[in-house]
Homo-oligomer: A and B are copies of this chain.
Amino acid sequence: MKTSRRSFLATSAVAATAFSVFPGLTVTGKTIPHLPASRMKLSFEPFNLALKHQFTLSGSSRSTTPVMLIKIDYEGITGYGEASMPPYLGESHQTASEFLAQVDLTQFNSPFLIEEVRDYLEQLAPGNPAAKASIDIALHDLTGKLMGQPWHKIWGLDPGKTPNTSFTIGIDTPEVVKAKTREASAYKILKVKLGRDNDREMIQAVRFISQVPIGVDVNQGWTDRDKALELIFWLKEQGVILIEQPMPKDRIEDNAWLTERSPLPIYGDEAIQHLPDVVRFQGVYHGINIKLMKCGGMSEAFLMAQTAKSLGMKVMFGCMTETSCAISAAAQLSPMAETADLDGNLLITNDPFTGVEIKNGKIALNDFPGIGVKKIV
């Protein structure tokens, strides 16, 4: 475990803490005398998530996911963040450690300067979206706590409008798929991974057990657009309600061709990383799947969702395998979405946080300030 502890406690006096605990005092318009500037302290810890089931995509299998758990301390308050780094996306404990070790937050005199920090992180190094997201999440947690409000509230969203979350069924044999589907009986929607050579078999195995709506995630696995369209019409008859990233992300024409003809909404996932991608892929996809670990954090995710909605595109929030930390951060945004696939924390056995819950299949936000999590280990 690598941490970047600095001589912090000495400067974080009781007076400074009291100041931040009562921000409401400024409501009266009184100016509060300036206290000596406090500094943010970033620390991080590599962690391995243990998966309940081996996880199979159209390209790989694994039984653990490396994450980096981070915290930012400021005036006695701790903001939690997380980077989840499935190996196929290129980040790792090593890349995240190297990146985070370079990050110097002491140059910012307030955790509220999130836009400045975002610019700084971009200048520090390209890429590293999950490591960047971990800082963005921790700053949101911290500033939400300093304001005494959860971020869904600060963003003006209605916590009553959260969507159901889907529960993910990975690619496997019919018997395993049936077993997983039985386990998922609490969920109102299932996400089924397709894109190998057993697509119809997968759906039939799920339908043998359950009749709930299905979202299909192809992860770029289809290569023939005519066959893909034919399969989509068949999937619609099976009660499938949406298709994610049907064809490789660089085959823009083929994805647009499918979107134009598909009887089901087509969502871009791998193709959509940052805000400009939303604009660029208008017309290519009906909707977008936003993930904090792709886009670099909550600020960017909020802008992507609002821009997509404004352009008439559908919005979904997705995740990697993550603890309740990153999942609860994404859940703050979920009232903006038609659909969510925020089940990453439900697929692991060693979650060090509690946070957002799923009640009757629906995302249930709590009232805790920040991202709404508590550390339990």
Contact = CB atoms under 8 A, between A and B. Distances in A.
A26 B367 contact: yes
Contact of A156 (B24, B112, B282, B335): B112
A114 B156 contact: yes
Contact of A306 (B110, B303, B367, B368): B303
Interface residues of A, number: 49
Contact of A22 (B22, B143, B147): B22
Contacts of A146: 24, 27
Interface stretch (A52-60, A272-280, A319-327, A340-348): A272-280
Nearest to A29: B368
Contacts of A7: none
B115 A157 contact: yes
Contact of A311 (B23, B113, B115, B276): B276
B369 A113 contact: no
Contact of A279 (B77, B148, B154, B311): B311
A155 B335 CA distance: 19
Interface in A222-263: none
Contacts of A23: 23-24, 147-149
A210 interface: no
* Identical subunits present: 2
Contacts of A110: 153
Interface in A164-221: none
Contacts of A156: 112-118, 143, 299
Most chain B CB inside 10 Å of its own CB: which residue of A148, A158, A303: A148
SS class of chain A's interface: helix, strand, loop or mixed? Answer: helix
A145 B367 CA distance: 19
Contacts of A27: 20-21, 77, 145-146, 148, 369
Contacts of A157: 113, 115-116
A367 B115 contact: no
A148 B24 contact: yes
Given A156-B113, A156-B299, A158-B113, A149 B26 contact: yes
A32 to B, nearest CB: 8
Contact of A154 (B112, B118, B282): B112
A353 to B, nearest CB: 13
Interface string A23-37: 111111101000000
Query: Which residue, of A27, A148, A276, A369, has the highest number of chain B Cβ atoms within 10 A?
Result: A27
Contact of A158 (B28, B116, B282): B116
A21 B145 CA distance: 15
A307 interface: yes
A338 to B, nearest CB: 15
A24 B20 CA distance: 7
A117 B155 CA distance: 12
29 contacts: A20-B27, A21-B24, A21-B25, A21-B28, A22-B22, A22-B24, A23-B23, A25-B148, A26-B148, A26-B369, A27-B77, A27-B146, A29-B369, A112-B153, A112-B156, A113-B156, A114-B156, A115-B158, A116-B156, A118-B156, A143-B156, A147-B148, A147-B149, A156-B299, A275-B306, A279-B279, A279-B282, A303-B303, A303-B307
Given A29-B369, A112-B149, A148-B148, 17 more contacts: A20-B27, A21-B24, A23-B23, A23-B147, A23-B149, A26-B367, A26-B368, A27-B146, A27-B369, A113-B156, A116-B158, A147-B147, A147-B148, A147-B154, A274-B310, A275-B310, A276-B310
Q: Which 8 A-B pairs have the closest CB atoms?
A: A114-B156, A23-B148, A115-B156, A26-B148, A275-B310, A147-B147, A22-B24, A112-B153
